[in-house]
């Protein structure tokens, strides 16, 4: 029990809880939403697609932030639930129907069920142990995706996923796909934000800061951690269904170690515990990987690794920490 | 069956060499070195470059040893500024380093899997109790057993080993005795990395060298460390041999479910003995 007093998360206790957006924050949120909604009208199709990728990855990072930043459970296997949701949504789109809410709900359900099946063992641990266990689970799930060829398509991935259909018509245009992704992203973000600021979320932050004390007060901390693990898995599954709606393809790499660690990087860059920070981090990660990566001969990962090292040294509280420091020089 | 058991021992000893450094550094300093797999992969690529003749194989081993020592010392130095921060920050730093190293290896050696040939005279098969078996793996079992014994004796029976064990048990108390535990950490980090890179060369003829191998072996090593208990050499040895057998038997008997078998073994141990088979309560500070 000696390490409990040290925050398990970079920034730990200092990370702000998501606040009610009022005044300036509410205006900023509304302005960002308007700009995002109008983006396809003035952006080139490629830029629109990149923005959609960012939103998909941002929702995934936000679901991870619920674990890492809010609850203090650093997961390196969260891509398992993201990928499970993507595979499930893709499979349903191919074999049953691609009509709008169906792949989404299936993705969410499968992500949550996968998290429920594996979570009972991970939440028994904490800190670096949790990191190791989730890593092992992520790798196991990736191997399943690689070997279960009849369902997942094996190493080639699940190809030929039809476009998502809304009201009977397929969303063929990059702009419509983008708006679908944006709408679901907003829903998912609001859901996670509501969870984080509910009494349940407050208890989760209590567990992050001092789990023995929360247990002593009478909170069933293991149950709370299990609950948030399943919720985060479900939201990651939703993000996975967006991934397949956007790129119409799922490969084992989407639930692998690299995807999981990039999401963790996004959360850390943004500042663990700050949901909007995770979105900024996701934007940076996707821009480096997809926009700068080809210019670097496909070695965007190298740059991301360097960014990772620099962020750990220079920004212990992430981008959100920068803002905190400027406001209250304590 | 016999072949599978022998394979299990070969993989088991290889895993021990890989995991023991990870276990001691983690048990001692709470630094989870996620770059450990990248060091193994670096060793494997060295093997792929030089192996083929005895001179080349030994040169690869020597280079891996020197490179591993230097890399370990460097990693220890890099985590030093973070010693007052959380354990997670240090793990994340090594994760970033692992990204960079893995990508540099891809730039240097390309995306394609490389096969590593065993040194001449060991690339054939021998007959063991009626079954044919690759000679190299048989030698690997021997070399692995000797290395494992050497590490075990150094840690359990020498003054230096006592210092290492004492630092695992209570680093503040060791510091009050006038010993700079940063030096102990750097030394253990360096030797652990040496062993990881050496294991990469030794494991080359079995695993080959390919992108992604670093994550695979890192996870095997983590499973070994968790099962054996943190900071325990005996635990790492038992854990490695158990995982070696479980993994190879699983691949023979239930090839579809091999990865599940590994996870099931991990889950079983963690449910029954949350601190690992040989973990002492004192060495687990994260709970």
pLDDT of residue A22: 57
Q: Residue A298: is its pLDDT beyond 80?
A: no
Contact residues on chain B for A212, CB-CB shorter than 8 A: none
Contact residues on chain A for B91, CB-CB shorter than 8 A: 74, 128, 131
Of B97, B102, B285, the CB nearest to A3: B285
Range of the domain at B118: 2-283
Q: Residue A248: is its pLDDT beyond 60?
A: yes
Distance CA B48, CA B88 (A): 34
Q: Rounded to a whole number, what is the distance in Å from the CA of B149 to chain A's nearest CA?
A: 27
* A124-135 pLDDT, tens digit each: 877 777 888 888
Among candidate residues B149, B167, B154, the one with its CA nearest the CA of residue B25? B167
* A28-81 pLDDT, tens digit each: 888 888 888 888 888 888 888 889 999 999 999 999 999 988 988 888 889 999
Query: Token digits for B247?
Result: 């993994």
pLDDT of residue B279: 64
> Cβ B32–A132 below 8 Å, yes or no?
yes
**Domain CATH code at residue B185:** 1.10.3470
* B202-253 pLDDT, tens digit each: 888 888 888 888 888 888 888 888 888 777 788 888 889 888 888 888 878 8
Q: Residue A203: is its pLDDT beyond 90?
A: yes
* A212-231 pLDDT, tens digit each: 999 999 999 989 999 999 99
Is A6's Cβ below 8 Å from some Cβ in B? yes
ipTM of the complex, rounded to two decimals: 0.78
Return the percentage of chain A with pLDDT > 70, whole number. Answer: 88
Contact residues on chain B for A302, CB-CB shorter than 8 A: 99-100, 103-104, 107
Q: What is the mean pLDDT of residues A10-33?
A: 63
- How many domains in chain B? 1
Least confident piece of the model among A186-195, A299-308, B114-123, B142-151: B114-123
Q: Rounded to a whole number, what is the distance in Å from the CA of B212 to chain A's nearest CA?
A: 9
Assign B126 to helix, strand or coil.
strand
Q: What are phi and psi of B208, to 5 degrees?
A: 75, -165
What residue segments make up the domains of chain A, in order of their start?
42-256
- Among B99, B100, B105, B264, pick the best mutation site for testing chain A contact (most A Cβ within 10 A): B99
For chain B, which residues score pLDDT lower than 70?
Answer: 29, 256, 274, 279-287
How buried is A313 (Cβ within 10 angstroms: 0-12 exposed, 13-18 middle, 19+ buried)?
Answer: middle
pLDDT of residue A15: 42
Of A125, A139, A311, the CB nearest to B219: A139
Q: Which residues contact A320 (CB under 8 A, 6 or more apart)?
A: A11, A15, A16, A270, A271, A273, A274, A276, A277
* B21 neighbors B188 (Cβ within 8 angstroms): yes
pLDDT band, residue A2 (cuts 50/70/90):
very low
pLDDT band, residue A324 (cuts 50/70/90):
very low
Q: Residue A326: is its pLDDT beyond 60?
A: no
pLDDT of residue A244: 92
Higher pLDDT, B123 or A327: B123
Return the HEC string of B177-219: CCCCHHHHHHHHHHHHHHHHHHHHHHHHHHHCECCCHHHHHHH
pLDDT of residue A321: 58
Query: Token digits for A268?
Result: 């850390």
* A237 neighbors A107 (Cβ within 8 angstroms): yes
* B48-63 pLDDT, tens digit each: 888 778 888 888 888 8
pLDDT of residue A163: 83
pTM of the model: 0.84
CB < 8 Å from B in window 128-157 of A? 128-129, 131-133, 135-137, 139-140, 143-144, 147-148
Q: Rounded to a whole number, what is the distance in Å from the CA of A188 to chain B's nearest CA?
A: 27
> Cβ A305–B100 below 8 Å, yes or no?
yes
Of A9, A140, A305, the CB nearest to B103: A305
């Amino acid at each position: 029990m000696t390490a409990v007093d040290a925050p398990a998360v970079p920034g730990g206790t200092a990370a702000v809880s998501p606040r009610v957006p009022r005044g300036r924050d509410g205006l900023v949120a509304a302005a960002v939403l308007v700009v995002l909604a109008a983006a396809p009208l003035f952006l080139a199709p490629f830029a629109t697609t990149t923005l959609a990728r960012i939103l998909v990855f941002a929702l995934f990072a936000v679901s991870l932030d619920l674990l890492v930043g809010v609850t203090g459970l650093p997961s390196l296997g969260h891509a398992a639930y993201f990928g499970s949701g993507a595979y499930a949504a893709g499979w349903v789109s191919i074999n049953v129907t691609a009509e709008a809410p169906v792949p989404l709900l299936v993705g969410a359900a499968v992500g949550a069920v996968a998290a429920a099946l594996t979570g009972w063992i991970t939440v028994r641990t904490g800190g670096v142990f949790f990191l190791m266990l989730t890593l092992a689970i992520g790798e196991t799930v990736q191997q399943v995706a690689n070997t279960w060829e009849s369902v997942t398509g094996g190493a080639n991935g699940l190809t030929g996923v039809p476009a998502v259909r809304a009201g009977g018509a397929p969303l063929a245009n990059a702009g419509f796909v983008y708006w679908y992704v944006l709408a679901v992203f907003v829903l998912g973000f609001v859901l996670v934000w509501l969870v984080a600021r509910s009494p349940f979320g407050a208890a989760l932050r209590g567990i992050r800061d001092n789990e023995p004390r929360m247990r002593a007060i009478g909170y069933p901390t293991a149950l709370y951690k299990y609950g948030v693990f399943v919720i985060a898995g479900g939201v990651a599954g939703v993000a996975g269904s967006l991934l397949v709606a956007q790129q119409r393809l799922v490969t084992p790499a989407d639930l692998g170690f690299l995807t999981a660690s990039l999401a963790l990087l996004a959360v850390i860059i943004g500042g663990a515990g700050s949901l909007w920070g995770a979105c900024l981090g996701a934007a940076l990660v996707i821009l480096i990987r997809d926009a700068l990566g080809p210019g670097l001969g496909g070695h965007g990962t190298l740059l991301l690794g360097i960014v990772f090292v620099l962020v750990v040294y220079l920004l212990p509280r992430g981008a959100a920490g920068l803002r905190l420091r400027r406001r209250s020089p304590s | 069956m016999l072949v599978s058991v022998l394979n299990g021992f070969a993989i088991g000893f290889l895993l021990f060499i890989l995991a023991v450094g990870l276990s001691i550094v983690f048990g001692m300093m709470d630094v989870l070195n996620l770059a450990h797999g990248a060091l193994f992969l670096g060793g494997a690529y060295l093997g792929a470059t030089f192996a083929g003749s005895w001179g080349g194989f030994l040169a690869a081993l020597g280079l891996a040893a020197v490179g591993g020592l230097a890399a370990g010392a460097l990693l220890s130095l890099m985590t030093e500024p973070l010693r007052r921060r959380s354990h997670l920050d240090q793990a994340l730093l090594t994760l970033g380093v692992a990204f960079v190293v893995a990508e540099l290896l891809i730039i240097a050696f390309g995306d394609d899997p490389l096969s590593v040939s065993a040194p001449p005279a060991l690339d054939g098969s021998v007959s063991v109790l009626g079954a044919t078996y690759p000679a190299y793996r048989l030698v690997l079992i021997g070399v692995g057993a000797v290395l494992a014994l050497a590490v075990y004796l150094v840690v359990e029976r020498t003054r230096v080993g006592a210092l290492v064990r004492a630092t695992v048990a209570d680093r503040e108390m060791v510091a009050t005795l006038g010993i700079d535990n940063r030096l102990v950490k750097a030394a253990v980090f360096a030797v652990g990395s040496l062993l990881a890179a050496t294991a990469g060369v030794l494991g080359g003829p079995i695993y080959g060298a390919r992108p992604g191998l670093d994550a695979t072996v890192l996870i095997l090593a983590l499973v070994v460390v968790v099962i054996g208990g943190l900071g325990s050499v005996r635990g790492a040895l038992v854990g490695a041999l158990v995982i070696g057998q479980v993994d190879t038997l699983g691949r023979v008997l239930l090839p579809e479910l091999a990865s599940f078998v590994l996870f099931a073994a991990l889950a079983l141990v963690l449910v029954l003995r949350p601190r690992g088979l040989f973990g002492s309560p004192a060495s687990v500070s994260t709970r």
